[in-house]
Chain A
């Protein structure tokens, strides 16, 4: 019984497939949330109520660095997935996971600095509808990154404590999807919000 019991804990390939499929659907649902916030933001770009405007507040250099950080972290996560797939030594996997986590945290640091600068300029959400829409959209992505980093920490602990059983692998795959999804959303934010803010 005990032998079978450990076996049944591990989902088979078909269940893996279902689990990933379910996660894709979740991401679609999440994408709808971002799409709606983008649309809302789009309708409110002129609602500055005499307060700070996009052109004055959005800094392209730090956000471009943030873009590079996040893109790199997607690549490093990809490298970690490869390490997991081909059963490379555990320390390789750990190394790339930690690099990804580090990049994620640095990204969050940069973003926090951006927001702090904006607040110092008087560009806080209660100032105008435009800033409200901005702070509803961009920090939500930031919150997703926070959740992603937390999840990454949990997964690092799980790899350490449990090892790479099928469920841990499955959850790493799902986290990978999530991480790449955040990248895509960020590219949309960078293009629509930051670049768009300067063009308009």
Chain B
């Protein structure tokens, strides 16, 4: 069991790399959990395949979704991926809290290494395969609609970026079925992740999964920035863009400049591990401090990559549901840009304890606190947006309110941590864990969920169930406080993060509360899935075909729900902010749903399988490298490059939608629009809402 099975073909694979074999050899609780997780992935994949076969949906899935270059479908696929990965990483969090609650002066049910894998996959997934796909997907879906574009600047590169990210996520899932994951945490600090200390496949899984995600994100960033620079509707000045577009732009710029340091860090670590380099090793002149600098040169801007899109969502949501113009648009734009720039000047605060001089620490500490100013300005801008508005407590608005009040607590502890002397005390403790969850759950997850509820009707033509939305919201908020407030206490008590065994019984009550909180968060996720099922069942009652369920302000609400493939039958002319709202409410000469004078032929990209091929074979190649199956590494790379070259030779890659067909589809929607019942804001959460706002 401890020798490679067939090294030439299978590299360093041994039978005990299968969790099922490990569970049979040693049926401990830890191994059974591992085997169950691996089994779940295998069975889940088989069930999905069977269902697709049973209902004959393979072709539909392939030609309507997987190979589509439509930015809306790519966006939805990103978000679907995010939900799948969120489920896994949340279950892992529950397991970890369970272990900590149980393992007080006993070893608990997870082995130390299994626990190490759990916190490493939890962090890596949440950042790279939950948060990044979610926000990239949301930007992908919403942003072109908001700027009056028919697609992204590079639809094909969009598909490649999606499938590279999905390939990375696939490697994360593969690590459940074969081999083990890294125990080096989401940051993968060497020298612990060097061959000398972690010779197994774990860190290699981490390196390649993260690298694929990182390259995908760089491509997505380039695409988003180009779309915003070059594809805006005629007349749309930069300062007329909805705020979500501004935050998308800043996020994209951060991706372009901040993902390369990560690529460099993981690539150099790979050189150490594969070719015996001494970049970050203990001996022969290697220096792990360089890794820390490279990683956090990515890592800190990454925090703002994650948070800025959510800020964009909140700007849209607060303005729409306060029935009022956004307060301080210019301030918000400025604050966003300041945050983006400052985010590159603070990375050292992630390792104040590395022994650098007090001057250096102080400078970086002050820079860190400075970011608090534009962030605070944003919060106040949203508060003043509500001032003298008419606030409607829909689910997205509830998330926005919960965000403002919770995020400010994270900001509080963030300033504490920005003080180097205080960081010395609570760095690497649960205080830090509580802090960044306190920033990322309200500052990312709530924002993404607010966006999900807000734009779901646009994507699918029906609203999400309100009641289950509120249940899920309550669970996310209550669960957050229960799960993370105790961690502040434990961290201030000196409990180190990533501890799988506890020797202080006085920690017990706090660990129990945190465990309960994790359970509530799990229920929150469950409620979201229930909500989805309930909403799909009731979709006819929840339908908002007219396209504007929330009395929206921006262009995406001026078209049908779901929008046609080409988004706008005729690309609109834009002469200011909130154009659709101003047209609806008679502050503008043009009526909101003016029928165009003439329709034109529209050119759209054809589907392409090469994006899928490149992503999948990149992952296959990476899998070969992870397992030292060199033939597979080479073969995967060759096929991936071949797909790229083939694509560059292809010429029949677009198709024309004839003006007559566009006109027919558009007029059908206009006829439905004429039939729709308009509603007042008091009834928008009821089934009376067909997506037509009362004027």
B-contacting residues of A (Cβ < 8 Å)?
Answer: 1, 4-6, 8-9, 14, 17-19, 21-22, 25-26, 28-30, 32-33, 36-37, 40, 43-44, 47-49, 51, 125-130, 132-133, 135-136, 154, 158, 161-162, 165, 167, 171
Contacts and interface: CB of A to CB of B under 8 A. Distances in A.
Contacts of A162: 649, 651
Q: How large is the interface on B (under 10, 10 to 19, 20 to 34, 35 or more residues)?
A: 35 or more
Which 5 pairs from chain A and chain B are nearest by CB?
Answer: A129-B285, A47-B285, A126-B276, A132-B277, A32-B260
Contacts of A136: 267-268, 271, 277, 279
A26 B645 CA distance: 19
A44 B267 CA distance: 17
Contacts of B601: 4
Interface stretch (B222-230, B320-328, B565-573, B675-683): B222-230
A4 B264 CA distance: 45
B260 A36 contact: yes
A80 to B, nearest CB: 18
Contacts of A19: 154
Contacts of B222: 22, 25-26, 29
Given A14-B230, A136-B271, A158-B649, 12 more contacts: A1-B656, A9-B654, A21-B229, A22-B222, A22-B223, A25-B222, A43-B290, A51-B284, A130-B285, A135-B277, A154-B648, A165-B651
B535 interface: no
B614 to A, nearest CB: 15
Contact of B279 (A29, A33, A133): A133
Interface in B153-174: 153-154, 157
A5 B606 CA distance: 12
A178 B286 CA distance: 32
B653 interface: yes
B265 to A, nearest CB: 9
A158 B259 CA distance: 32
B253 to A, nearest CB: 9
Contacts of B153: 18, 22
B275 A126 contact: yes
B656 A33 contact: no
Contacts of B221: 29
Given A29-B218, A154-B645, A129 B287 contact: yes
Nearest to A4: B656
B256 interface: yes
Q: Is the interface of B mostly helix, strand, loop or mixed?
A: helix
Nearest to A153: B645
A51 B225 CA distance: 46
A37 B218 contact: no
Contacts of B271: 125, 132, 135-136
B62 to A, nearest CB: 23
B268 to A, nearest CB: 6
A154 B645 CA distance: 8
Interface string B246-289: 00000000001101110110011001100111110101111100
B275 A17 contact: no
B587 interface: no
Contacts of B263: 33
A40 B265 CA distance: 10
Interface string B209-248: 0000000001001110110011100000000000000000
Nearest to A9: B651
A125 B284 CA distance: 11
B528 to A, nearest CB: 35
Nearest to A155: B648
B546 interface: no
A182 to B, nearest CB: 17
A17 B653 CA distance: 19
19 contacts: A1-B656, A18-B153, A18-B231, A21-B230, A22-B154, A28-B257, A36-B294, A37-B264, A40-B264, A48-B285, A125-B271, A125-B275, A125-B277, A126-B278, A128-B278, A129-B281, A130-B285, A132-B279, A167-B651
B504 interface: no
Given A36-B261, A136-B268, A129 B256 contact: no
B230 A17 contact: yes
A187 to B, nearest CB: 20
A106 B54 CA distance: 58
Contacts of A1: 656
A132 B278 contact: yes
Interface in B620-635: none
B297 interface: yes
A162 B153 CA distance: 24
Given A18-B231, A29-B259, A126-B277, A8 B268 contact: no
Contacts of B286: 47, 129, 132
A29 B278 CA distance: 25
B358 interface: no
B603 interface: yes
Nearest to A147: B641
A129 B279 contact: yes
Given A22-B222, A49-B284, A125-B275, A8 B603 contact: yes
Contact of A158 (B154, B218, B276, B648): B648
A5 B651 CA distance: 10
A188 B601 CA distance: 49
A125 B276 contact: yes
Name the residue among A18, A32, A37, A128 with the largest chain B CB count within 10 angstroms: A32
Given A18-B153, A36-B297, A129 B284 contact: yes
Contacts of B268: 40, 136
Contact of B653 (A9, A48, A126): A9
Name the residue among A21, A26, A127, A129 with the largest chain B CB count within 10 angstroms: A129
A6 B153 CA distance: 21
Contacts of A125: 271, 275-278
B458 to A, nearest CB: 25
